[in-house]
Homo-oligomer: A and B are copies of this chain.
């Protein structure tokens, strides 16, 4: 247990040392969300129509791009080898790393999202649902992403490979998340979408750490 806490604290410390890392995830989210109006045009009606989809895709991409960093430095400097031969249960260590990743890359996006929602002319209750859906959905993104990150360790160009492995698994999260916001835009209750999202997150919490641990063992061999 203490190893878990140490690992979490170490990763947060490292993230803090490199504050710009945290900031860049956020700004990537912000920039991608701001690129779309430039491509699509500035009409508020169109923008608010596509807002749920765009914001969720932007959040998803921002979370995904930071995945490469989850294990890469541990792998290349040898810390991962040491974690694997440590007498601790590996899935627990994985949970610590995923949690650190979510705190650093997921949480800030959740907090920033309403501001960008304003740029897309989203009404207030849709904004609330947006935040809720991100809060319930982003942990699943980190958990599933960890499997991809572990599988592609030490593979050149892993950034894109991760995308390829992980995006199909992200699709349910995207559908429920964007669906929740769209529902509340249309005045329908978003509860069904949100509980599906929560269920999906729980499921990945149970399964993903084991899959990630197995993937790590394979990658290091």
**B-contacting residues of A (Cβ < 8 Å)?**
18, 20-21, 23-25, 27-28, 31-32, 35-36, 38-41, 46, 49-50, 52-54, 56-57, 60-61, 65-66, 68-69, 73, 156-157, 159-161, 163-164, 167-168, 171, 174-175, 178, 182
Given contacts A73-B156, A164-B28, contact A39 B53 (CB under 8 A): yes
B28 touches A57 (CB 8 A): no
Considering the chains assembled together, what is the distance between the CA atoms of A220 and B189 in angstroms? 56
B21 touches A171 (CB 8 A): no
A41 touches B182 (CB 8 A): yes
B160 touches A25 (CB 8 A): yes
B35 touches A66 (CB 8 A): no
Residues of B within 8 A of A46 (CB): 46, 49-50
A18 touches B156 (CB 8 A): yes
A68 → chain B, closest Cβ, in Å?
6
A57 touches B36 (CB 8 A): yes
B31 touches A57 (CB 8 A): no
Q: Which residue of B lies closest to A35 (CB)?
A: B57
Residues of B within 8 A of A32 (CB): 57, 61, 167
A48 → chain B, closest Cβ, in Å?
12
